[in-house]
Amino acid sequence: MSPLPPLPHPAGPGAAQSYQARHVLGLPADVLVDEVETLALSRFAGARWDVAPEGTEPLVPPARTARPGEPGVLRTSRHTTLTGPYAGPGSGVPGTALVFDVVCPRERGDVPYPGGGDRDGVGRAFPCGLPVREEERVVAFLVAAARRLGGSVRTDVGNPAGAGVVLTPDPGVAVDMTLYSDVWLDPHAALALVGRLHPRTRLATEGKPYEGPPKGIAELPLYPGEKMDPELRRALHAAADDVDIKALTTGAVLDGYGLLVDLGMDGLVAVEVGGEEALPLLLRGLPWTVGGAVSYRVRWEPQDLAESQREQPSLDHQIARKRAAEVVTQVTRTLHQAVGGEIADEAEFLVDPEDL
């Protein structure tokens, strides 16, 4: 393979126009270019290589293959391209071996809300107006891809108002996972599986026994100023009670349930089970997902939600998050062993079960 060319100067040939924004995705040396295509296909239905780089094996047939020394061009939409890989040194993204030059529409909205959560630093990178519409989707993808691949994002390259901010997303932030399967696990079977991992697991479908209508309600007016015959009012209340009792005593098909794992000071891990039609892009259209799938969402609920949304949370929170992530991983792995299927992380990027 030919040596990677250097990243072009922001003001040089092919520079972004005034209506465009330019960002840089920097990645470590052990990342394969094919991985970037896979992540793009996970987020953008129309992603494809206009020009496939040397040595890649595209999942979608490219328009053409790059000539020696020529960068590839990965198009995620009509208006957005990722060009590269270029050599990392000199790109302004420290510690990276290869980079992609990202050009998308420049679309900015309101300034960041003061004191709002900004766990990825996006508000810090765009203090004069947060990305919206297409640029918001692109920046969110770049941050998620950098987190997944151990890279960084340099925002607003070439903007006269600033030299750009480098964001290095913390991989430990992404705790939650979702398992998609065509197998429905009975609530008590799921409780038994998860309960073996953690003794403080309980079903979250238990309700309060129905104790009937409040005493004396049949004598109260149905609405202010109502002057109904007392016997008729009592008859109406009795008929309504009959409907309620029938609804409460008639068997219904269970279409969802939850489990709660009490982690004490570390918060809770919730397992939410139900039908799902809005599947990750890479799972749509498969033989076993044509009619939807069963989703097993395994997510952490920290005790301090505000702390979880800080870009630099406290050490105590990071320790709790690490312990909770281990539980989330164990639960997801155990459920996958029972029902099979595919696992996705918070960004809807698929995860190999062996990598858990």
pLDDT, tens digit (0-9, with 9 covering 90-100), for 19-63: 789 999 999 999 999 999 999 999 999 999 999 998 889 989 898
End-to-end Cα, the chain, rounded Å? 32
Q: Each residue of 54-113: pLDDT tens digit?
A: 888 998 989 898 888 889 999 999 999 999 999 988 888 888 999 999 999 999 999 988
**Nearest-angstrom CA–CA distance, 168 and 147:** 7
Q: What is the pLDDT of residue 43?
A: 94
Which tokens sit at 352? Answer: 């190999």
Q: Each residue of 121-175: pLDDT tens digit?
A: 999 999 889 999 999 999 999 999 999 999 999 998 876 555 689 999 999 999 9
| Alpha-carbon Rg for the chain in angstroms | 27
pTM of the entire predicted model: 0.82
Q: Could you tell me which residues come within 8 angstroms of residue 294 by beta carbon, excluding any fewer than 6 positions away?
A: 180, 181, 182, 183, 184, 185, 273, 274, 275, 276, 339
Q: What is the pLDDT of residue 283?
A: 94
Q: What is the pLDDT of residue 10?
A: 63
Strand 342-345's sheet: what is its strand order?
201-203, 256-262, 268-276, 293-301, 177-181, 342-345, 350-351
Average pLDDT in the chain: 88
- Local confidence band at 189 (pLDDT 50, 70, 90 cut-offs): very high
Q: What is the pLDDT of residue 240?
A: 79
Strand 64-65's sheet: what is its strand order?
64-65, 48-52, 72-75, 81-87, 98-105, 20-27, 152-154, 166-167
Closest CA to 102 of 2, 5, 14: 14
